[in-house]
Amino acid sequence: MAFDFIEQQLQQRKIDGLYRQSQITQGQQGRYIKVAADHYLNFSSNDYLGLAADPTLIKAWQKGAELYGVGSGGSYLVTGYNQAHADLTEQLKSWLGLEAIALFSSGYSANQAIIKLLLDKNALLLQDKLNHASLMEAGSLAQCKMQRFKHNDSAHLQSLLEKQQNPNSLIISEGVFSMDGDQAPVKELLIQSKQHNSWLMIDDAHGLGVLGKDGQGSVVESGIANSELQIYMATFGKALGVGGAFVAGSQALIDYINNFSKPYTYTTGLPPAMAYTIGCAAQMAEIEQWRRDKMFELVSYFKTLAVQHDIQLGESNTAIQPLIIGDSQKALMVAEQLKALGFWVTAIRPPTVPVNTARLRITLTTSHELQDIKQLIAAISTILSEH
Asked if 273 contacts 67 with a C-beta cutoff of 8 angstroms, the reply is: yes
Question: Buried (b) or exposed (e) across 84-121, using 16+ Cβ within 10 A?
Answer: bbeebbebbbebbbbebbbbbbbbbbbbbbbbbbbbee
Give the up-direction half-sphere exposure of residue 61: CA atoms within 13 A in the CB hemisphere: 17
Confidence of residue 27 (pLDDT cuts 50, 70, 90): confident
Of 47, 182, 222, 238, which one is the catalytic site residue? 238
Of 47, 54, 128, 174, which one is the catalytic site residue? 174
The pTM of the whole model exceeds 0.85? yes
The rounded mean pLDDT for the chain is 95
pLDDT of 52 over the 80 cut: yes
- Taken in order 138, 230, 225, 290, the sign of the CA dihedral is negative
CATH 3.90.1150.10 fits 23-49+288-386, yes or no: yes
Mean pLDDT throughout 75-94?
Answer: 96
What strands, in cross-sheet order, belong to the sheet with 32-35? Answer: 25-26, 32-35, 38-42, 343-344
Active site residue 75: no
d(CA 227, CA 250): 8
Mean pLDDT throughout 300-321?
Answer: 95
CATH 3.90.1150.10 segments of the chain: 23-49+288-386
pLDDT of 326 over the 80 cut: yes
Active site residue 151: no
Mean pLDDT throughout 46-67?
Answer: 97
| Residue 249: Cβ-neighbour burial (10 angstroms; 0-12, 13-18, 19+) | buried
Gyration radius from the chain CA atoms = 21
| Residue 35: Cβ-neighbour burial (10 angstroms; 0-12, 13-18, 19+) | middle
Strand partners, 249: 100
Strand partners, 319: none
Q: What is the pLDDT of residue 1?
A: 75
Rounded to the nearest 5°, which phi and psi values hold at 311? Answer: -100, 120
Active site residue 166: no
Of 206, 294, 303, 368, which one is the catalytic site residue? 206
Active site residue 178: yes
CATH 3.20.20.140 fits 55-287, yes or no: no
CATH 3.40.640.10 segments of the chain: 55-287
Q: What is the pLDDT of residue 128?
A: 97
Of 46, 111, 154, 226, which one is the catalytic site residue? 46
